[in-house]
Homo-oligomer: A and B are copies of this chain.
Amino acid sequence: MRNTRKTVGEVGEFNLIDRIRKILPVSGNRDLIVDIGDDTAVIRIDRKRALLLTCDIQVEGRHFLFDRTTPYRIGRRSMAVNLSDIASMGGKPTYALVSLGLPADMPVESFHRMFEGMRDEMSVFGAYIIGGNLARTKDELVIDVTMVGEVEASRVLTRSKVRPGDRIFVTGMLGASGAGMEALRVYGKKVPRKYAELVKRHVLPSPRVEMGIRIGRSGIASGMIDLSDGVAGDLYHICEKSGVGAEIHEACLPLPEHIAEIAEKCGRSVRDIALHNGEDYELLFTVPPDVPERKIRALPGNTGVPVTEIGMIVEKRAGYRLVDALGKKTRLRPAGWDHFRKE
């Protein structure tokens, strides 16, 4: 059947996810708080607690390259991106299962280092790998991680309850990972020392688990998502799910040091890197307009992670737009990372 009619590569990731939604039945199970569509499923355990379940499959050559990083970092990263999904629900990560598809010629040494990386990333958050499975592939390393977390059932933050007038905030800096990636592309192994922090943000993201829990527990947010595909793509998921529009203020984007130099060097705009590059693994969350300012200012506590307001949720008919420093509004391209797009 392989060579007839349309292929999955032609229709793309989001079309396939739509198809899955149509094939699968609505569960009718009232323990299921959040179903397919969010990156993380939420299942009620009892009156107070809910279980979080998320998975992420990463393939060598598409999600990481052996010659650009180390097995240890690949291991850490594979956990970090899943920890970020738990963080985006305001949850505490607890356990992970790891499935690996291994090419037979992978050195045992690399396998060992990769697992050490996984263990170390989990231990930062007091979470454990408790199971998994191994299989052999022809020539690609495939890492599939299922992450389990827990959250207070009354504090679950989803994508579907955001309303016009809600203010939009992000943690940390935007475009750091993208700038780091471009620095690696431009300079190869000779990246100047001053860009080391950007490169680090690219190869080893820090999931915002503590901030996610703080935002969830504060009870002030109306929605939250982690930034894996870029602000422009991820915020759009919230807009679709909630039936709203959004305006992002370009001048408000929190930018990392040196991003302008790198943008010039690689011939892209700072805006493009900050909005469309993805993999920052920061949190984007929305706060209704009547929430007192002091509650928002209290969010970072002593985490050292800044929180920055970058725009506002608007009516759907007002569109999805970027507002520049002069107040001029242009359409914001809602492009997210599609794992089936042509390279």
Contacts and interface: CB of A to CB of B under 8 A. Distances in A.
Interface of A: 1-11, 13, 16-17, 19-20, 23-25, 27, 29, 32, 35-36, 38-41, 43, 45-46, 51, 53-59, 61-63, 66, 71, 94-95, 97, 99-112, 115-116, 119, 123, 128-140, 142, 144, 146, 148, 339-340
A131 B41 contact: yes
A7 B141 CA distance: 13
Contacts of A140: 101, 137-138, 140
Given A16-B111, A23-B115, A128-B29, A100 B133 contact: no
A39 B135 CA distance: 14
Contacts of A131: 35-36, 38-41, 53-55
Contacts of A103: 8-9
Contacts of A55: 97, 99, 131-133, 144, 146
A8 B102 CA distance: 8
30 contacts: A1-B109, A2-B106, A2-B107, A3-B107, A5-B109, A7-B107, A8-B105, A8-B108, A9-B106, A16-B111, A23-B112, A29-B128, A36-B130, A36-B132, A38-B131, A39-B131, A41-B131, A46-B46, A53-B95, A54-B97, A55-B131, A55-B144, A55-B146, A101-B101, A104-B340, A134-B339, A136-B340, A138-B139, A142-B142, A144-B144
A24 B115 contact: yes
Contact of A6 (B57, B108, B142): B108
A201 to B, nearest CB: 22
